[in-house]
A and B are shown apart, each in its own frame.
Chain A
Amino acid sequence: MLNTSGLSLANTPPYSVPLGFFLMAPLFALVAGVLLMTAPEYALTSRWTPTVLATTHLLVLGFITSIMCGSLLQILPVLIGTRRVVTARTAGTMVVMLGGGTALLSAGLLLTHGPLSWVGAALCVGMLLAFAFEVIRALAASSGLRRIRWSVALAVFALIVTVFMGAMLIGSRSGWPASGVDKSWTDVHLAWGLAGWMGLLLIGVAGELLPMFYLSPPPAQWLMRALPWAITGLLLSLSWMAWIGEAVALPVVLPIGLLLSFGGFAIAGFVSQLKRRRPRRDPTLGFWWLGQASILLAAVAWLMQAPVVLTGVLLIVGAGMSFTCGTLFKIVPFLSWYHLQATKVKRRRTDVKLPTMQGFIGDTVAHWQLAIHTAATALLAIGAWLHAPTVWTGGLLLAGSALLLWYALLHAAWRYRRVARTLTRAA
């Protein structure tokens, strides 16, 4: 028998909590797209250009991490039944800190301005460590779904390591010798951020979200249980090798680990989705396919020693942004409907008919956003690979897809607000 007596609607955060994170995210993708358009000829020629450094942090912190944080605050009470992770006021402060920090950090990296980077990094570090602390506290107090709890806990551990390394790298760039790291640690920082924070969380929630939203069988259970530990072990080994100066092993071990772990995850995801009980044309599933294909291509690109920027484009724009967009297009309509339904029940307003999930974000917008985002990924990848003149158009499409996503989210929020007003008005 399951003990659910302590659960209540009060565990789920108000609608505004995840939405604050979600509405902020497209702004950073828009700025990143415009930034790529301003210097298309050399923007993706090297991983060390100020444009690449700034764009990477705009996308990874401002877009992907923002959506991941908002989703986690909502998903943990719904999937695992944890208590509410943070209050609405704390979440609001977190949105401001992450948004402001990302803007300042990216500006500092773009302009090679040390103090700007420092202030931005300090805001991001403060917010992300506070977020990690609150998530771990909520997980520790919960007893639901052991597998996903461990995946999320390991992802949050990876976030903490990424944040510390990032802070030390910023210190190193500003000429702070006591930070003890040099430029070569960037690979380790990147690995913990992409494979650890982003990858582990993805693996953790995919095992639940795919069966829940697409009625597909859960991806191979043994694999989903083993992967978080295998990836964490790999990342710890890499860090150890970097620490003792065996940095030469990094380019060999990492792609093999990526191939085996994330390649396995991507293939398991495809297999599971092909077996779904109600196969229908669903644009949100297209984001998952694009993400999984990008992971496989990134691993191959790394093995073929293609430019590192290509791998970065595939993992960040192709995989990270696609998975987060696909998740957004599912959970925002669901949350909108769910919060309205809860209010309807509480106020006993059986006279009010709620919109369907399609009424919040329709399939047409999702189809267009998927098409534009896929084209942006392809053009940016070609630009990074062949130094072809496709970066300007890729940046334009990235900015366009961000605007479309913003429109979709604002439409859902507007529709929610309108129906919520009807529900709270006297019958």
Chain B
Amino acid sequence: MERVLDVSTLEPPEPLERILDALADLPDGDWLNVLHRREPHPLYGMLRDMDYHWRTTARGPNRFEILIWPADLGAEPPSGSGSC
């Protein structure tokens, strides 16, 4: 199931903190859809270290969607996610 997390109105480093907290609490089989106002480059290395895959989609000049899912769900975004 998709969990949506909107961090687009938070100051750094809150977006990163909230995303990491949300991933820690993510139930098995679920994935996260993060709404952000910028592309979170610093997050990607951490996701790799934590065995997550991600896909970032620009929805506008200040609107990004970052779909994050555990590597054990496969290399492609889970079926039923907004990116499919």
- The answer to whether A and B interact is yes
**Which A residues have a C-beta under 8 Å from some C-beta of B?**
1-2, 4, 7-12, 77-81, 144, 208, 211-215, 218, 221, 277-278, 334, 337-338, 341-342, 345-346, 350, 357
Closest to B47 in A: A345
Closest to B55 in A: A1
**Are B13 and A341 in touch, CB under 8 angstroms?**
yes
Nearest residue in B to A9 (C-beta to C-beta)?
B45
In whole angstroms, how far apart are the Cα atoms of A426 and B39 in the complex? 34
Interface size classification for chain B: 20 to 34
**Cα separation A75 to B58 with both chains bound (whole Å):** 21
The complex places the Cα of A77 from the Cα of B39 at a distance, in Å, of 12
Chain A residue at minimal CB-CB distance from B45: A9
**Contact of B11 (CB < 8 Å), options: A10, A81, A208, A213:** A213
Contacts A8-B44, A78-B42, A342-B46; is A1 near B12 (CB within 8 Å)?
no
Whether A341 pairs with B46 at a CB distance below 8 angstroms is: yes
List A contacts of B49 (CB < 8 A): 9, 342, 345-346
Inter-chain CB contacts under 8 Å: number: 77
Q: Are B11 and A278 closer than 8 Å at their CB atoms?
A: yes
Query: Given the known A-B contacts A212-B38, A218-B62, are A8 and B45 also in contact in the complex, defined by CB atoms under 8 Å?
Result: yes
Known contacts A215-B11, A345-B49; decide if A2 and B42 are in contact (CB<8 Å).
no
Which residues of chain B have C-beta atoms less than 8 A from A213's C-beta?
Answer: 11-12
**B82 to A: closest C-beta gap in Å:** 12
* A-B CB proximity, top 10 nearest: A9-B45, A8-B45, A2-B56, A7-B44, A81-B41, A345-B46, A346-B49, A345-B49, A337-B13, A4-B56
Q: Among B11, B16, B48, point to the contact of A8 (Cβ < 8 A).
A: B48
Contacts of A7 in B (CB 8 A): 41, 44-45
Closest to B57 in A: A1
A219 to chain B, nearest CB (A): 13
Distance in angstroms from A117 CB to nearest chain B CB is 41
Tell me the bound Cα distance from A2 to B49 in angstroms. 20
Counting CB contacts under 8 A, is B24 at the interface? yes
Q: Tell me if B5 is interfacial: C-beta within 8 Å of chain A.
A: no
Indicate which residue in B12, B20, B38, B48 contacts A334 across the interface (CB closer than 8 Å). Answer: B12
Task: Give the residue name and chain of the A residue nearest to B11 (CB).
Answer: A215
Residues of B within 8 A of A (CB): 9, 11-13, 16-17, 20, 24, 37-39, 41-42, 44-46, 48-50, 54-58, 61-62, 64
Instruction: Say yes or no: A2 contacts B58, CB within 8 Å.
Output: yes
Interface-centre pick from A77, A79, A345 (highest chain B CB count, 10 A):
A345
From residue A164, how far is it (CB to closest CB) to chain B in Å?
33
A12 contacts B42, CB within 8 Å?
yes
Subset of 16 A-B contacts with CB under 8 Å: A1-B55, A1-B56, A2-B58, A4-B54, A9-B49, A208-B38, A212-B12, A212-B38, A213-B11, A221-B61, A334-B12, A341-B16, A341-B17, A341-B20, A345-B20, A357-B13
Contacts of B20 in A (CB 8 A): 341, 345
Residues of chain A with a CB closer than 8 A to B54's CB: 4
Shortest C-beta distance, A207 to chain B (Å), equals: 11
A11 and B62 form a contact (CB under 8 A): no
Chain A residue at smallest Cβ distance from B48: A8
CB closest residue in chain B, given A11 = B45
Closest approach, in angstroms, between the C-beta of B70 and any C-beta of chain A?
A: 15
A215 to chain B, nearest CB (A): 6
Would A10 and B41 count as touching, CB distance under 8 A?
no
Residues of A within 8 Å of B46, CB to CB, are: 9, 341-342, 345
Contact call B55/A10, Cβ cutoff below 8 A: no
Residues of A within 8 A of B45 (CB): 7-12, 342
8 Å CB contact of B39 from A11, A12, A81, A350: A81
Selected contact of B57 from candidates A2, A278, A341, CB within 8 Å: A2
Contact indicator B9/A277 (Cβ below 8 Å): yes
**Interchain CA distance A357-B50 in the complex, whole Å:** 23
Q: Which residues of B lie under 8 Å from residue A342 when comparing CB positions? A: 42, 45-46, 49
